Structure 1
Amino acid sequence: MRLPTATIRRLLNLPQVADIWVGGGRSLNSDNDEVFCAAWLDPKEQLVRTMEIRQFPPTPEQLMRLLVQAIESPHHPQAQPCRPHAIIVDDRELQFFLRGVVAPLDIQVEYQARVPLLDDFFELMAAEVTSDDPDLEGLPREYVPLYKRKIRELAQLDIWRRLNHVTPFKLHCSSWDCPTLFAVLVNPQGASRDFGLMLHRGEEALRNFWQQIDQEDPYLDEEDDDRLEETVLRNDCLFLNVSEVDEADLDNDLSFVLRGHAYTIEVGVVHPLEGIRHFYAPEEAEMVYVAIASLIKFWKKTKKQFEQEAYPELNLRFQIPSPCHCALSYQVQVATAPEMMPGIDEDTEESQSLCQIPIDTEAIPEEAYILFKRFPPKELGELQAAVAYHQRGEIPEEFKGYPVLTIQTKKSAAAAIAAKIAEEGGIHHLTVFPLSGPEQIVMLLAQTNANHLWLLDTFDAESGSLLLDWIKEVNDLDGACGLAVAYGVTGKTRRQPTLKQIVGLFETSLVFSFVDTQRPPTPQPIEISKP
């Protein structure tokens, strides 16, 4: 993975100093919840150039994003934008990752097993620390009136009301740093008048975006800010949002009036290694302006064809003059991309194809309970030793609770289910499949290593809260989870089976919206120790 060309060019324009910076991340061991701090320090100037506190361990990508901020927009008011001669980290994996990414910036990456300055700094960070984002202009000054006029023209075409949010347009211009962009409309939701445009940098970026939307976003809690942020930061795109504001906010340079309503423009860039940046560099502002102008011309010429056909196959070329350089123009090819639609509309296609795969709807008795359990390390060890059927899987070395989906039924049925799973080579993975339709039904499935699909349960919008909470716990362990089979469906232990009543534990993983019946059966060894 590499930084965008425009970002590399922008950072190379900053002066390089002989200083050596140090950076890394640590757990702060908060009294309430475990929190983590990541930072880049300048020992010579005795400055904290960037710092971030969050609820998850910092990843190499996050530390790279912070390094870009440390170079370009340091948080400390006395720090000037510049590139260091070298950086020192105390993590080998981070060193290898950063070496490849910062090579174009002429920055050396060194490793030390222990960096005393970092240790001392993180010891001081026991309390919550905040830092404000730098106050940056979203657009270069000369582009502000141009954008307001061009976006008002685009908005008056009302494309957002005519096309859905999975209708991409392919824009190609050999003069751009990223020659091919895929433009996707962000539609108004409900009574909202807000709208937007996302310009994904390449086909892979667009496919990755829609894959995460289809497979992950339905299971994310809107209040889980850290995980939502990590999902957003996997994108690689330029974005432009147009949001309705109060008339009192019209003094903002990027505000304008459209059809009697006040709006403001927000621009930005998202990249896995750079993070979210709320401004355009001049070449990015030029590129996005040309892209918008191309879309306007394309829609005016093809509007009637879209009225006759939902998504016609079209390919047109336009010459767009530069808004700021009178001697410069761009040849832009704008096309629909029907070949991308099957990949983008994957949720519907997978739901339809899933209906064609045989699913055993009677594997789990009707009188069974589906329980969402969580076992601390000690209890998990006791459970592993107690069950008659055990499938070993990959369990993180450190965890607070191991999520186990537990089927509780009658004693004879529990024994039969555990034996059947063992006969089919154990559980390959669990999966959650949202089905299209207003009912928002979600199927919870298990695929055995004999490539059979077992329907464990179905959930609707009202009954799915427990499933969503359990999925969040599984996500915290990178998908690791277990499937257990227990008895005791009546009596005092109903919904609370004891360790003695759990007859089988199958350690596996959760993979969203995924079924693979084309691979050969891959039975796993099951430890059987019947009493």
Structure 2
Amino acid sequence: MSLPTATIRRLLNVPQVAPIWVGGGRSLDSKNDEVFCAAWLDPKDQGVRSMEVGQFPPTPEQLMRLLVQAIEYPRHPQAQPCRPHTIIVDDRELQFFLRGVVAPLDIQVEYQAHIPLLDEFFEFIAAEVTSDDEDIEVLPPEYVSVYKQKIGEFGQLDIWRRLDSLTPLKLHCDAWDSPTLFAVLVNPQSEDGAFGLMLYRGEEALRNFWQQIDQEYPYIDEDDDERLEETVLRNDCLFLNFAQVDEEDLGRNPSFVLKGQLYSIEPGVIHPLEGMRPFYAPEEAEMVYVAIEALIKFWKKTKKQFDHEECPELDLRFKIPSPRHSALHYQVQVATMPEMIAEINGDLEEGESQHQIPIDTAAIPRDAYILFKLFPPQELQELQAAVSYHQRGEIPEAFEGYPVLTIQTKKAAAEALATKIAEEGGIHHLTVFPLSGPEQIVMLLAQTNANHLWLLDTFDPESGPLLLDWIKEVNELEGACGLAVAYGMTGKTRMQPTLKQIVGLFETSLVHSFVDTQRPPTPQPIEISKR
């Protein structure tokens, strides 16, 4: 993965004067729960260039985003934007990751096992440093007036209510740093009437966006800000949001009036290695303006064709003048993508292949409880030693609770089910599939290593929070989880099986919305011990 060309160009314009910076991440002690901090420090000035505190261990991508911030917008009030000659980290994996990413910036990456300055800094840090971006110009000054006029025209189009996020438009211009953009329209369906435009840099970026909508967003708790933010930051796009505001709340953002209502213009860029940036560089502002003008011309010329066909096959070319340079013109191609839309809707053979395995709805006894359990390390070891059937999987070295989905049924049925799973070669993975329709039903499935798909249970909005809470625990362990089979449905052990009553433990993983139909059957060894 590499930084966008526009970002590299922008960072290379920052003077390279700082000799060495150090950076990394640590876990901080907290009375309530575990807190993590990541930072870049300047040893010469004894200053904090950038810092972030959160509830999850910092990733290499997060450290890269903080490095970009450290270069352009240092936290220390006396620090000036600059680029280091060398950065030193205390993590080998981070060193290897950063080497390739920062090579175009002429920055050397070195490793040092112990960095005293970092150790001292993380020992004393106790509060989150907040960001102050109030002085950032969201648009280059020379583009503010032309954006107001053009976006006002753009906002008047009925394109916003006619096309949605599954009807992208492809824009291509050889003069752009990212020659191919995919425009996704965000319709004004929220209560506040906000709407906007997202321009994904390439087909892969667009497909990643669709994959997140299908596989991740349905399972992220709206209150889980950290996970939601990390998911959003995996996008690769430029965005332009328009939000209704009162004049006193407008701040520094430019605005336009639409149907008597004041809207703020909120531009920005998202990239996995740069993070979210609330402003455009001049070349980005130029590119987005040209893209908007091309979309306006395209819609005015073709909107009648959308009256007769949901997504007609169209491919038009426009000559768009630069808003700032009278002698400069751009040749922009705007096209619809009906084949890609058909693929997303499951009309292509590849899209349908995931659903070609029939779902066995009778594999799990009807008279059964589905329980979501967490086993601390010691209890997990005791469980592994106690069961008659054990499928070993990859379990993290350090964890507080191992998530186990437990099927509790009658004794004879439990023993028969554990035996059947062993005969199937164990569990390949668990998965969750949302069903279309107003009922908002989610299926919880298991794919065995014999490539059979079993329905474990279904969840509606009322029972769904139990599944969501368990999925959050599984996500903490990067998908690692287990499936257990137990008996003891009556008396004190109802919904609370003892270790003795758990017949089998099958260590596996959870993969969202995924069925592997191309994989040949791959039975795994099951340890069997008769108790």
Contact 2:253 / 2:265 at 8 angstroms: preserved in 1? Answer: no
Q: Distance in 2 between matches of 1:117 and 1:143?
A: 43
Distance change (3 Å), C-alpha of 1:2 and 1:339: same
Q: Which residue of 1 aligns with 2:182?
A: 182
Tell me which amino acid in the other structure corresponds to 1:260. G
Distance change (3 Å), C-alpha of 1:349 and 1:220: farther
Q: Distance in 2 between matches of 1:89 and 1:351?
A: 43
Q: Which residue of 1 aligns with 2:132?
A: 133
Contact 1:236 / 1:270 at 8 angstroms: preserved in 2? Answer: yes
Q: Report Cα offsets for 1:445-500 as digits up to 9, x if no partner.
A: 00000000111000111111100000000000000000000000111110000010
Report the Cα offset of residue 95 of structure 1. Answer: 0.6
Q: Report Cα offsets for 1:166-215 as digits up to 9, x if no partner.
A: 10000000000010000000112244421100000000000011111110
Q: Distance in 1 between matches of 2:410 and 2:418?
A: 12
Note the 1:450-465 alignment, pairs <5 A: 450-465=450-465
SS at structure 1 position matched to 2:182: strand
Q: Which residue of 2 aligns with 1:303?
A: 303
Give the TM-score of the pair, scaled to structure 2: 0.97
Note the 1:234-383 alignment, pairs <5 A: 234-249=234-249, 253-345=253-345, 356-383=356-383
- C-alpha RMSD of the superposition: 1.6
Report the Cα offset of residue 342 of structure 1. Answer: 3.7
Report the Cα offset of residue 147 of structure 1. Answer: 1.0
Matched, 1:54 2:54: yes
Tell me which amino acid in the other structure corresponds to 2:288. V
Distance change (3 Å), C-alpha of 1:221 and 1:364: same
Q: Report Cα offsets for 1:340-398 as digits up to 9, x if no partner.
A: 21444469999976664311111111110000000000000000000000000000000
Q: Report Cα offsets for 1:259-303 as digits up to 9, x if no partner.
A: 011111100000000000000000000000000000000000001
Q: Distance in 2 between matches of 1:388 and 1:523?
A: 18
Matched, 1:146 2:146: yes
Q: Distance in 2 between matches of 1:408 and 1:16?
A: 63
Give the TM-score of the pair, scaled to structure 1: 0.97
Distance change (3 Å), C-alpha of 1:363 and 1:465: same
Contact 2:164 / 2:184 at 8 angstroms: preserved in 1? Answer: no
Report the Cα offset of residue 250 of structure 1. Answer: 5.6
Q: Which residue of 1 aligns with 2:502?
A: 502
| Pairs aligned (count) | 530
SS at structure 1 position matched to 2:373: strand
Q: Distance in 2 between matches of 1:350 and 1:217?
A: 23
Tell me which amino acid in the other structure corresponds to 2:450. A
Tell me which amino acid in the other structure corresponds to 2:328. L
SS at structure 1 position matched to 2:493: coil
Q: Which moved more, 1:191-200 or 1:178-187?
A: 191-200
Contact 2:253 / 2:266 at 8 angstroms: preserved in 1? Answer: no
Q: Which residue of 2 aligns with 1:109?
A: 109
Q: Report Cα offsets for 1:24-62 as digits up to 9, x if no partner.
A: 000002121100110000010111010100001111100
Distance change (3 Å), C-alpha of 1:92 and 1:250: closer
- Extract structure 1 runs of 4+ deviating beyond 4 A: 250-253, 346-356
Q: Which residue of 1 aligns with 2:480?
A: 480
Matched, 1:470 2:470: yes
Q: Which residue of 2 aligns with 1:172?
A: 172
Q: Which residue of 1 aligns with 2:163?
A: 163
Q: Which residue of 1 aligns with 2:447?
A: 447
Report the Cα offset of residue 329 of structure 1. Answer: 0.8
Q: Which residue of 1 aligns with 2:88?
A: 88
Tell me which amino acid in the other structure corresponds to 2:263. Y
Tell me which amino acid in the other structure corresponds to 2:496. Q
Q: Which moved more, 1:309-318 or 1:245-254?
A: 245-254
Report the Cα offset of residue 144 of structure 1. Answer: 1.0
Q: Which residue of 2 aligns with 1:72?
A: 72
Contact 2:357 / 2:452 at 8 angstroms: preserved in 1? Answer: no
SS at structure 2 position matched to 1:49: strand
Q: Distance in 2 between matches of 1:234 and 1:199?
A: 14
Q: Report Cα offsets for 1:401-442 as digits up to 9, x if no partner.
A: 000000000000000000000000000000001011111111
Contact 2:343 / 2:351 at 8 angstroms: preserved in 1? Answer: no
Q: Distance in 1 between matches of 2:146 and 2:462?
A: 48
Report the Cα offset of residue 87 of structure 1. Answer: 0.6
Q: Distance in 1 between matches of 2:4 and 2:155?
A: 29
Q: Which residue of 2 aligns with 1:411?
A: 411
SS at structure 2 position matched to 1:85: strand
Contact 2:392 / 2:506 at 8 angstroms: preserved in 1? Answer: yes
Q: Distance in 1 between matches of 2:353 and 2:463?
A: 25
**Percent identity at matched positions?**
79
Q: Distance in 2 between matches of 1:179 and 1:507?
A: 46
Contact 2:138 / 2:279 at 8 angstroms: preserved in 1? Answer: yes
